[in-house]
Structure 1
């Protein structure tokens, strides 16, 4: 089939790879100048099934409400800017019950575990290198109270297939010697040994090159999607500012823009753009930096070791499609990073960035056929887009081909939402 993939982030590029590997004639349309120049440009770098607990929860309800009034928290909410955010918030709050939290976490974890295996298999098949490290991730907690609360969530993940180890602060520093100067600030950590890290932009860029060279995939960059041409129950073509592209099937993988675009064609895609900030720094003294990925959970700050670089990320900000940022957005991030890894980096050399996560109220992506017989969705991955990219791409390719997927698709397909 002739398939158009709309969006060349980590999610769209992975889907294009699997579709092209199946023998389809694949063209990827992307408004930016290259792969992963949007949401996937500088995310936290964590491939983290250990972070699969659904955002929507009783705890998140309290934080969400506090974030409306206190903008110094790791979560910031500005409802007045966008009426649609208010409606999205209502749907999000509906999911914030203990039962819905468990129900949403299970498929998210299932896909994350599958996707982690897929990305490793893909990298072995293609020979891709993307500054990956397969050493696990430490989820660090500063108080015994926050650690005890987190352990309840991780026990649930463990019951559904995630290996974990609950460790004290000294053990955490043994697992990651980069924490030698900071372990005394923590009560303990949850160690997820199968989690890993990697540069999503490097992954998408090299996978695009591989798919183009070896599988015949065509990438059309600097091309803006303007609309769909529909006949009956099928999409006949996609209109762009570079012309009209005909297709036998279309995959919508436009990240945070997917919801706005989909609503023009009757799709119920409640995707909210959730802003996050990231800083990438060269390590001045590599021995003083982390050897793996981690998160200071009480301060909402994640970090990754990407080759000889340190990636920091923080904040969930509900402010619409605003991607602006200033030095003040990174001050707390740098204070914590200096505390964790003193002497490891010079913050004046940081590459600063802000991007938007495409968040569904359930915190679970939507994948599969929707409304039109040849339209497929692969979007709404939220804060785990990098983690879920390979698995959702492979699942999508199975659905397009009419094969039985390798994992249970319950609560992952669009019609289940």
Structure 2
């Protein structure tokens, strides 16, 4: 009897994805459509229980500038000392935090920030096309809207810098316009309460919003029913086992889970999984907060997505609810809700849109965004482990970049040319 060749030689592989957040699910979608036998292992009982659960809700393809920028370093004393800063840094006896922090500071140059922004715009433009295709083909229901986005600015220097970026974004197909304060209010009357501090805004009419958790839950059902993807819920990965320059298995409580290829999409937990194998991922969690409130008065809630640049707070209408998100705290892997940080977010939201809700039913949440120092994700084969694909480091842009990141991974495993220029995203670009 003739022995059949391994599945990988025929082009169809057994692929195990670690993580059922938005990045893992989008990778599964791209790989399953390529005809691979895909399984996902997830430590939670369903999809999107961690960073994808209640993020800002914005699919922000045109606004991807990294946190690391030339204006960051002068603000660090305030982050350390001010209790109401939109960012908080608490030094810890954690070598990983200090290594990440030093690399982050090295990336805070005008040249590096500009280069990373341009790279991320390429990736986000790809994601936009893929999201549109997914919505059209699969009919996914996730409070999806294409009503645009308005970034409001409260000082002239920030407004001038935002207008300067519009020219480059136009070369990538972004349609934007700069508005003065009066035009901002005509476009979005619900911003009337913060009118005294408005200088202007940048309006991008084709930006989008949606409920990331609903997206993930719907996509997980589609993956199961239409593409035969197998999910292993409530299954934590305890260890990765390597042999002969390849990843052999993911060890779970029931034993070894083997595959031809693996995709690491485990968010903030990814670095800990690879560390015992001698791979040091430059990832650190940025803790973010959100709250979700029911909309009580339709005219008092923003119709389009709003980003308040001065307060580093985002607002997105998700059907009959409003999502408010903000903060970026470097405090380790602590996922507890700190009352003072939640109170700050509530105060900002109530000051901006006091009548949109009665504010008695606030759904609070916090999550860890897995970030690289530069802000660019790590996409590609892990050095020394040829069959392990990295799909990590999207930071606060996980929802926005997930579809493109998954496609990049699928193309790499298929041996196809990358769909975009990959400089800045490959593991070697991150020192691996």
TM-score (norm. length: structure 2): 0.93
Match of 2:394 in 1: 381
Distance between the aligned counterparts of 2:215 and 2:254, measured in 1? 27
Shift of 1:49: 2.1
Moved more, 10-19 or 147-156: 147-156
Q: Kindly provide the CA deviation profile for residues 338-357 of structure 1, in whole angstroms up to 9, marking residues without a partner as x.
A: 23222111222011011011
In structure 2, C-alpha distance between the alignment counterparts of 1:224 and 1:90, rounded to whole Å? 31
Q: Give the number of the structure whose alpha-carbon radius of gyration is greater.
A: 2
Query: 1:189 is matched with which residue?
Result: 201
Aligned residue number for residue 76 of structure 2:
64
Rounded to whole Å, the distance in 2 between the matches of 1:154 and 1:63 is 25
**Selected match of 1:54 from 46, 62, 66:** 66
1:260 maps to 2:245: no
| CA displacement 1:56-107 (0-9 Å, x = unmatched) | 1111222235313334211110112523211111111111111111121111
Cα deviation for residue 273 of structure 1 reads: 0.4
Residue aligning to 1:399: 412
Q: How many residues align?
A: 417
Q: Secondary structure at the match of 1:139?
A: strand
Matched-pair contact (CA < 8 Å) for 1:81–1:320: no
For the aligned residue pairs, the C-alpha RMSD in angstroms reads 1.6
8 Å CA contact 2:149–2:204 kept in 1: the answer is yes
Secondary structure of 1:219's aligned partner: strand
Does residue 229 of the first structure (1) align with residue 241 of the second (2)? Answer: yes
Residues 296-307 of structure 1 aligned to structure 2 (within 5 Å): 296-307=308-319
DSSP-derived class of the 2:404 partner: helix
User: Do the aligned residues in 2 keep the contact of 1:81 with 1:319 (CA within 8 Å)?
Assistant: no
Change (3 A) 1:246 1:128: same
Residue 288 (str. 1) matches residue 303 (str. 2): no
The 8 Å contact of residues 380 and 409 in structure 2, kept in 1 or not, is answered as yes
Looking at structure 2, the residues matched to 293 and 28 of structure 1 have their Cα atoms a distance apart, in angstroms, of 32
The answer to whether the 8 Å contact 2:125/2:172 transfers is no
Equivalent of 1:148 in 160, 164, 180:
160
Structure 2: state its 5+ residue gaps. Answer: 1-12
SS at match of 1:40: coil
Per the alignment, residue 199 of structure 1 pairs with 211
Measured in 2, the distance between the counterparts of 1:322 and 1:301 equals 21
Aligned to 2:150: 138
**Pairwise CA distance, 1:35:** 0.5
How far is the alpha carbon of 1:194 from its aligned partner? Answer: 2.6
What's the CA shift string for 1:207-257, capped at 9, x where partnerless? 000000000001111110011222201112111123221100000001111
Q: 1:87 to 1:69 in 2, by over 3 A?
A: farther
TM-aligned CA distance change 1:178 to 1:133, over 3 Å: farther
What secondary structure is seen at the aligned counterpart in 1 of 2:360? helix
Tell me the alpha carbon deviations over residues 130-157 of structure 1, each in whole angstroms, 9 at most, x when there is no partner. 1011121111112323322433344444
1:241 aligns with 2:258: no
Q: 1:263–1:163: structure 2 CA closer, same or farther, 3 Å change rule? A: farther
